[in-house]
Homo-oligomer: A and B are copies of this chain.
Amino acid sequence: MNPKAILLIADGMADRPLKELGWKTPLEVARKPAMDRIAANGICGIIDPIAPGIPPGSDTATLAMLGYDPSKVYKGRGALEALGMGLVVLSGDVAFRCNFATVDKDLVVLDRRAGRIANEDASLLSSKLQRVKLFKYPDVKFTFKNAVQHRAALIIHGPKLSTAVSDSDPESDGKQVLEIEALDGTKEAQRTAAIVNTLMHEFHEVLKDDPVNKARARRGLPEANAILCRSAGTVSQMPSLQDKFGIESACIAAVSLIRGVCRVAGMKLIDVKGATGTLETDYQAKAKAAVRALKSNDFVLVHVKATDVASHDGNAHLKIDATEHVDEMLSYIIDHADMASTYLAVTADHTTSSRTRNHEGDPVPVAIMGLDVRRDDVTEFGERTCAMGGLNRIRGIDLMSILMGLLGKTKKFGS
């Protein structure tokens, strides 16, 4: 039987030792029998997702761990988010992450999330915005679509566009909406900034008089009368995992950003009911979906966001709890996948410190279990124990090659 691989990435699961945990990390404190079993029966190591000391984003780290060099293929978050929402972003398009927001008459932001507007209202407003005409730019089209609550994406399609433009989102309430500016001296950047500024103005004109907002005002809800946009990005032309390794692959992830990364890698996206990308996700449903996906795929990526959410909240105990839920997913996988023909790897995409509440540049632990891996002496999964493992210290971009090497899918160089 052809060997398969599952890679479980727990977002931001790695941490630094915390005083409140007696200078242990949440991962070191968590009860995690499955991770320890993978470590004890597998080969361990530490990974610099990007490079030592450099704090990765989840996008760049996941690209690297799928075998892509983010310094070459990463072109901004906006396009990945839009892709992850199921939109089409072509090479040359420029995509933005957007928020429905509430502004006053001077365009000062009163609520960056328009009271976390309900999906129904946002959908109605989005369909109105999609009808806006860009008369000044007949060669340009756009796609605007809402996602969960206040979140949305905007894609500009057309020739001569650039991602080198600033955000209109001032990133905090009480500040005025920003003019989008060209970040370099190119005509393309100036043109893109002008197009998006025009669009933002038109959107505001449409939104401020829309009956949906009149109704919201009557109900005492903040009006969603402006769109804020940020993180201009586009997509790279890059080979799919099928092209690179000749494999069928699938992704089980709830957050748009990771779904977008997996889409550009040509992976199938598997929707799992109850998977939310939050602390209240259905962990077991994702584990079950992963085992099922093994039937028709060589490689399955499972991404869990909850560990990172807890870290950004600075809540070490919540992080321990999320880590233990991740461990239960791995238990399920070990019990239900055919482990004689499955390589199972667990890692984090980056360190998130529960003290600084930021992504940090410290390496992340990794363990790979499977038939004939060079099992080492590490018996516990953790940031420090894995540093003693047989993989030593590798780069994010090496992980996929190692897994594909175990599956016999990497190409020989030389003869």
Contact = CB atoms under 8 A, between A and B. Distances in A.
B405 A360 contact: yes
Nearest to A77: B415
Contact of A414 (B74, B355, B375): B74
A89 to B, nearest CB: 16
A50 B401 CA distance: 12
A17 interface: yes
A248 interface: no
Nearest to A383: B374
16 contacts: A50-B413, A52-B401, A52-B402, A53-B398, A54-B413, A55-B405, A55-B411, A57-B412, A59-B415, A70-B413, A359-B412, A360-B405, A361-B405, A361-B410, A377-B388, A392-B393
A155 interface: no
B401 A57 contact: no
A410 B376 contact: no
B16 A414 contact: no
The oligomer's copy count stands at: 2
Interface in A344-383: 353, 355-356, 358-362, 372-377, 383
Contact of A413 (B55, B360, B389): B55
B390 A392 contact: no
Interface of A: 16-19, 23, 25, 46, 50-61, 70-71, 74, 77, 231, 257, 353, 355-356, 358-362, 372-377, 383-384, 387-394, 398, 400-405, 408, 410-415
A76 to B, nearest CB: 8
Given A61-B414, A372-B355, A412-B56, A387 B392 contact: yes
Name the 4 nearest CB pairs between A and B, nearest first: A57-B414, A53-B401, A60-B414, A361-B405
A412 B55 contact: yes
Give the most central of A58, A360, A392: most B CB within 10 Å. Answer: A392
A250 B376 CA distance: 37
Contact of A362 (B231, B374, B389): B374
A387 B376 CA distance: 9
Contacts of A61: 414
A356 to B, nearest CB: 6
Contact of A405 (B362, B376, B387, B401): B362
A70 B414 CA distance: 9
Given A358-B408, A387-B392, A401 B51 contact: yes
Nearest to A18: B372
B59 A402 contact: no
Contacts of A52: 394, 398, 401-402, 405
A3 to B, nearest CB: 10
Nearest to A257: B415
Contacts of A390: 384, 387-388
Contacts of A16: 372-374
A383 B43 CA distance: 12
B58 A414 contact: yes
Contacts of A402: 52-53, 361
A387 B374 contact: yes
Contact of A17 (B53, B358, B361, B372): B372
